[in-house]
Amino acid sequence: MKKSMKRWIAAAAALFVLLPAAAQMQEAYPSYIQVYGRAEKEITPDEFYLQIVINERDSKGKISVESQQRDMIAALKRLNVDIDKQLKVANLSSEFFKKKSSVATAKYQLQLGSSAEVARVWQALDDLGISNVSILKVSHSKIDQLKEEVRVEAIRNARKNAATLAEAIGQQVGRCFYIYDSNSNVVPAVYDNMVLMRSAKDVATAEMQVEEDPLEFKTLRLEYGVQAKFVLE
């Protein structure tokens, strides 16, 4: 009898201990809904980065790299390019062979602000015999600000999704207690440089002056996704 009484008292004590714990667990893990929010935005680039490579061996008439550099800088200045701000030396190398002849290669990075400017520069360089020109990348001057805007839109869309689902079961969305930045991405634009070069030549040799952007560059696409958990009320 005493043993059974002790067992009953122990069981009751354990129950009193478990009840507050269960209540705390229910409070810590409320009835909630987990959703995914996504947003994207397409933007027109306003920063264009060209790579220009000058190689003595590939130049017409074996013109020295130094001579080509001077001609290139002069041509860019005529096009109102700020040499100090927009043109950077990416690499300069010289290889020496057994005959003690040197072949130098100069590599530049040029930043431009419009596709019209890209077309004019491309044609000017081609006129100088500098044809090793390619698009490194395109971007936007306010890319960080635009990324944040897409990010905010993604979490807003997550709440909209949660509200739609909650309404279907006769409930409402309460506070958000969990947000996970699942991914963000800037989808790069890939270009065929030969096609762009032909387009630039066509634009530069046209009789009419084009004031709008003559080259059709692909838009940049910003994508952002978030996971979120909202309390159901």
Q: pTM of the full predicted structure?
A: 0.68
pLDDT at 202: 55
What are the beta bridge partners of residue 135? Answer: 50
Query: CA geometry: angle at 39 spanning 37 and 43, to 5°?
Result: 170
- Residue 139: DSSP 8-state: E
Domain architecture of the chain: domains with CATH: 31-45+141-190+211-233 (3.30.110.170), 47-139 (3.30.70.360)
Q: Please spell the DSSP secondary structure of 163-189, one letter per residue.
A: HHHHHHTT--EEEEEEEEEEEEEEEPP
pLDDT, position 155? 94
Alpha carbon separation from 178 to 11, 27, 29, 34, 164 (Å, rounded): 37, 15, 12, 9, 18
3-state secondary structure at position 70: helix
Q: Which one, of 81, 66, 159, 71, lies nearest residue 118 by Cα?
A: 81
What does the DSSP 8-state code read for residue 45?
-
The 8-class DSSP code of residue 210 comes to P
In this prediction, residue 56 carries a pLDDT of 75
Do residues 83 and 77 lie in contact, with contact meaning Cβ atoms separated by under 8 Å?
A: yes
Task: Say which DSSP state 7 is in.
Answer: H
* Spans of the chain below 50 pLDDT: 8, 11-26, 58-59, 95-101, 203-204, 206-213
Terminal CA-to-CA distance of the chain, rounded, Å? 49
pLDDT for 115 equals 86
Q: Is the dihedral of CA 194, 197, 199, 201 positive or negative?
A: negative
Helices of type H across 43-142? 65-78, 83-86, 115-127
Taking the C-alpha atoms of residue 39 and residue 225, their distance in angstroms, rounded to an integer, is: 7
